[in-house]
Amino acid sequence: MIYELQEGKKFHIYLLDIELSDGEINGLKLAEFIQAQKNANSYVIFITNHLEFALNGYELDIFRYILKEQAAEKLPQALEEIGKRMNIQSGEFYTIDKAGFREKLFYSDILYIYKEQKNAVFVTGNGTSTIRNSLSRVMTELNNDGFVYINKGVIINISRIQKINGLEIILDNGEQLYASRTHIQDVKMLVSKFWRKYI
C-alpha cells in the first residue's frame, strides 16, 4: 500500500493491523505515513489484537481500534458511522457569481471563510475564492449548522475540524486557526452538538 500512496493514490478508508504480513513496515508507521499525506476526509481503522498500542497512535488521529474477535460486530458499525460523516454536507453548495461565470463551492470542500476588508474569502482544498459580501451575510446564506464563528473574522466548517487544543483549532489539512476567548466555548458546544446530530 505504501507504494500506492507514494504514487499519489488516496483512499477514504484504511483498514490496518499493527502487524502487517509483508514485514517491511508496521501498521503504526503506515498510519503515520497516511497522516503525513494530509488526506482530508480519510479514516484509519485498526483491526488488531494489540490494543496496547492504541495510546501510541493517539496523535495519528486513528478513527477506531477494533479487536479482531469483535470485528464482525464492530467493523460494520464503524463503517456506518464513517458513511454518515462522509455524507454530511456532501450535496449542499454555495454559489459565487462573478463576471461571466458562476462558481459552485460544495460545503464539504470549504475549510473556512475569513473577512478581508469588504470581502469574504472562501478557503478550500483547491485554493481561495473571493466574494464582495460580509461574513454575516455569508453565514445567513449558508444557512447550515455545520459552520460556526471562531472569532469575529473567521467562519469555520465544523466537519473539517480535526482537533481543538485550547484556543488552537487544527483542520484536517493540517492548517491551524485560533478562536477568540469569547468564542471558544460556543465553538466547543456547537462542535459537540453537530457531531451528536450526525453520529
Over the stretch 61-119, which tens digit does the pLDDT of each residue have? 778 888 899 999 999 888 877 776 666 555 688 999 877 778 889 888 899 999 999 99
As a CATH number, domain 2-87 is: 3.40.50.2300
What is the reported pLDDT for 187? 92
What is the reported pLDDT for 173? 87
With a cut of 80, say whether residue 43 has pLDDT above it. Answer: yes
Q: Are 120 and 138 in contact (CB under 8 A)?
A: yes
Q: Do domains 2-87 and 93-198 have the same CATH topology?
A: no
Question: Which neighbouring-strand residues pair with 105?
Answer: 94
Torsion angle in degrees (nearest 10) through CA of 11, 69, 53, 163: 50
Residues 116-154 have pLDDT tens digits of 999 999 999 889 999 999 999 999 999 888 899 999 999
Once rounded to an integer, what is the mean pLDDT over residues 31-55? 72
- Rounded distance between C-alpha atoms, residue 131 and residue 153, angstroms: 15
Residue of 177, 42, 193, 187 lying closest to 123 (CA atoms): 177
What is the reported pLDDT for 137? 96
The CATH class that applies to domain 93-198 reads mainly beta
Q: Are 9 and 1 in contact (CB under 8 A)?
A: no
Query: Residue 57 is which amino acid?
Result: G
What is the reported pLDDT for 57? 53
> What band does 40 get if pLDDT is binned at 50, 70 and 90?
low
C-alpha cell at 64: 477506531
What is the reported pLDDT for 14? 86
Q: Length of the chain in residues, anyone?
A: 199
Once rounded to an integer, what is the mean pLDDT over residues 15-43? 70
Instruction: Provide the residue ranges of all domains of the chain, joining segments of one domain with +.
Output: 2-87, 93-198
Instruction: Map 16-49 to HEC letters.
Output: ECCCCCCCCCCHHHHHHHHHHCCCCCCEEEEEEC
